[in-house]
Structure 1
C-alpha cells in the first residue's frame, strides 16, 4: 500500500510569487509542521512580454517558456550528489509559475538534509503543499515526468521510474491554474546547491514537439549574484544542467 503525504518540509516557489499560502490536502493526506526550508525565487518580469531580467537570486535553473500547452514531458537520470552542504535540490517539469501564481508540477527531490542523498518523489499544485509519495527511487534511476492539462483546471501528473519499474499517476485540479507557461527545471530548495555534477534533461517535449522548438528562456540558479547551477544550450529535446557553486 502506498503512502501519500502533504508536507511543509519544503516549499516550491513560482518564478515571481514569494508568498506561502494555506494548505490544500487530498482526502488521505496529512499536513505537517512549519517549513524548515525557505527560499524565494528570483526573476522579475521584464517590460516586453516573456523577457525576464536576471536578479541577484534565483531558485530555478533550466528552461521555461511563456506558452502553455497540453502535455509537457522530460526525462533524466537521478544524479549522484555530494551532500557536504546538507541542502535540498529538486528536478521537475510542469506548467505555470514563470510569472504566474500557480504551478502544476511533478518530480524528485535530491534531499541531502540528513547528510546523505535521499531521492523523494512528489507532485505539487502550488500554492498547495507538495504531496510526497512513498515509492523507492535511487541514484542512477531513469525517471520520466509528465504533466497533462486535461481541461479547465484539471491536470494529470505522472512520474515513472523505468529502472525500478514503477509509475504513479495523480489526477488533481487547482483553482486559478491557467496553463500559460511551461518549464523543465532544476530547483534550489535551500540556500545552497549541493554538488550534483552535471545531469542531462532528455526527451523534453511540449505537445509532442522538442521543447527547444518553443524558444524557451534559459534560467541560471544564483545566490547573491553567484551562479550556482547553469543550463547548457538546449539542443532540440535535451540540455545539460551543471553545478557551479554551493
Structure 2
C-alpha cells in the first residue's frame, strides 16, 4: 500500500464481527501480446512485510440480512459486500476473472474487487485482488493480497489501469499453505504467492467491497459496474456450491450496489446504484 494509504485509511480499518453473512483458466493474451512474467514468492506464516501497527485488513462481511420477498427469492444484503459468497461447506479454492472498472471519485472512499477464502463466519481471510483509492480525489488503482491475521494488506508494485483484464485463483494447497495467483492479462504481469496461514476454509467469495473505517463503512465510489466471469468454488461453477448473491446497502437499507444473476457459468455483474 502506498504510504499515505497505509497511514491514513488502513490504519483506521477495524475488524468487525461477522454476522453470518474454483479454478477458471486465465485468459489468453491477445495476439502479439507478451505472455505475463510470473513473480513467485514463498512467505512464512506470521511474516508481515510492513510495520504491523500501520496495517489492518479489508473487513469480513458486515450486517448481513436475508430479507423476505413476495416471490420467495431475495438477495442477501450487507453494508460492505456485493457479489457472491458461500459458507455451507468447506472451500479450498476460488477463482474468477474481472475487468477493472473505470471509477469516478464521487467520494473519498476505497472500493476493492477481490476473490478469497474465509471472511464469512470465520476470523481469518485469504484474499487478493485490486482496488481503487479515492482518498486523494482522483482514482488510484492498485493490486494487493492478504492472509489475515498472518499477513495484513500488502500492495503489489505492479501497474493496474481501468479496463484491465484480471484473473485470480486462491487455493488451500494443504499443510497450512495458500497459493494466490493474480494475473493482469492486459499489463502482462503475474504475481504468485505461496503463504503460510491458519485458514478455516469456511467460505468462498467473489466480491466488490466498500472499505470500512473505524465503525463506519466509507462512502462507496462510483465504479459503474464490474463484470466477473468464470467464477468457480472448489473447481466447479459456483452455482453448485451454495453461493448466495449479496447486494450492498447503505445504513438506511437502500441498495447502493446490486448483484445480478449468475448465468450458471460463474458470470455475473455487480452494478453501482448510488451512494
**Shorter-normalised TM-score: what interval?**
0.7 to 0.9
RMSD: 3.1
Q: What SS class does the counterpart of residue 106 from structure 2 fall into?
A: helix
Say which of 26, 29, 40 aligns to 2:47: 26
Q: Is the 8 A contact 1:13 1:41 kept in 2?
A: no
Aligned residue among 214, 218, 223 for 1:191? 218
CA contact (8 A) 1:14 1:99 kept: no
Q: 1:40 to 1:98 in 2, by over 3 A?
A: closer
Structure 1 contact 14–101 (Cα < 8 Å) conserved:
no
Structure 1 residues 156-165 or 68-77, which shifts more? 68-77
Match for residue 49 of structure 1? none
Cα shift readout 1:2-46 (whole Å, capped 9, x = no counterpart): x99x946434867707xxxxxx963643446477x999822269x
What is the number of equivalent residue pairs in this alignment?
229
Alpha-carbon displacement from aligned partner over 1:159-201 (angstroms, at most 9, x marks no partner): 11010100001111223x1112111111100421111112211
Contact kept? 1:106, 1:157, Cα under 8 Å: yes
User: How far, CA to CA, are the matches of 1:103 and 1:14 in structure 2?
Assistant: 13
Unaligned runs of 5+ in 1: 18-23, 46-52
Residue in 2 that maps onto 1:171:
194
SS at structure 2 position matched to 1:83: coil
- Measured in 1, the distance between the counterparts of 2:221 and 2:99 equals 16
Match of 2:35 in 1: none
| Correspondent of 2:248 among 221, 231, 234 | 221
Equivalent in the alignment of 1:131:
154
- Superposition TM-score, scaled by structure 2 size: 0.74
Q: Cα gap change, 1:40/1:99 in structure 2, threshold over 3 Å: closer, same or farther?
A: closer
2:261 corresponds to 1:239: no
Question: 63, 81, 86: which one pairs with 1:60?
Answer: 81
Q: 2:142 aligns with which of 92, 95, 120?
A: 120
Return structure 1 stretches of 4+ with deviation > 6 angstroms.
37-40
Q: Is the strand fraction higher in 1 or 2? A: 1
Contact 2:46 2:196 survives alignment (8 Å): no
**Are positions 1:204 and 2:252 aligned together?**
no
Evaluate the alpha carbon distance shift between residue 28 and residue 129 of structure 1 in structure 2; reply closer, same or farther with a 3 A threshold. closer
SS of corresponding position for 1:220: strand
Q: Which moved more, 1:179-188 or 1:204-213?
A: 204-213
CA distance in 2, matches of 1:118, 1:107: 14
Shift of 1:222: 1.3
Q: Secondary structure at the match of 1:240?
A: strand
* 1:81 equivalent in alignment to 2:103: yes
TM-score, normalized by length of structure 1? Answer: 0.82
From the superposition, tell whether residues 223 and 14 of structure 1 become closer, same or farther in structure 2 (CA, over 3 Å).
same
